[in-house]
Amino acid sequence: MKDLLLKNMMPVWYPRVIDKEYGGYLSDFDYKWDLTKNQNKMIVTQSRHIWTCSKMRAFTGDPVYHEYARTGFLFLRDKMWDKKLGGFFNLVTREGNPVSRGNNKDISKDAYGNAFAIYGLAAYYRESGEQEALELAKKAFLWLEKGSHDPVYGGYFQFLHQDGSPYKSGGPGGIPPKDQNSSIHILEALTELYSVWPDDLLRKRLDEMFHLIRDVIVSERGSL
């Protein structure tokens, strides 16, 4: 597994995915590793690169992974965070301009994507000690808390308007406002954040998400 990771995976993807022109990470290649035309950047993909490079910095001690992770942090900070209304955009162009979802002119966001931003930023802070990354992760958590959190039944509404208010009647395509996929990754993200920021409200939400996933959205047969 170590050989697969260090010889056959990381050297293939990095630094190839680093976007030296616009920052962040490139996403789409053909089978020959040539770039394709569409290079939109999704918050989940960008954040997972930050998390991966931060963990690789811890695993290998190689400072180059800090550089790789930082380019993602800067792109999230400067391009993907909505400086007017808060929260991270779900999708931007390669240059960093927000992209609307389908025919909806509203630049929609979601809890799933913002959770991954928290996940990546917390891991980056753990390895870099860069306080600004932790502060951005906190801001994202509090932004979700304000609009996405369900004060009645707990958990987080998945599909959000640009201002953070939820699609309470259901998301695009009839998907319910909460789902198991976003819920498990919110739990994952809050766990990563709590490891570097042991906040009381954050701990309360961790307990809440654990309870919901284990006891509420699980069926009698054990599936979510």
pLDDT per residue as tens digits for the range 118-150 = 999 999 999 999 999 999 999 999 999 999 999
pLDDT exceeds 70 at position 36 = yes
Q: How far apart (Å, rounded) are the C-alpha atoms in residues 115 and 112?
A: 5
- pLDDT at residue 168, rounded to an integer: 73
Closest CA to 92 of 27, 185, 36, 170: 27
Taking only the tens place, the pLDDT of each residue in 159-196 is: 999 999 998 776 667 666 888 999 999 999 999 999 99
Instruction: Please identify which residue in the block is written with the tokens 């309360």.
Output: 204
- Model pLDDT, residue 177: 84
Q: What is the pLDDT of residue 149?
A: 96
pLDDT, position 102: 66
Mean pLDDT of 196-208: 98
Q: Which pLDDT belongs to residue 171?
A: 66
pLDDT tens for 77-109 read: 999 999 999 999 999 999 999 998 766 677 889
Q: d(Cα 59, Cα 188) in Å, to the nearest integer?
A: 20
Buried b (16+ CB within 10 A) or exposed e, 31-64: eeeeeeeebebbbbbbbbbbbbbbbbbeeeeeee
pLDDT score of 54 more than 90: yes
In this prediction, residue 101 carries a pLDDT of: 72
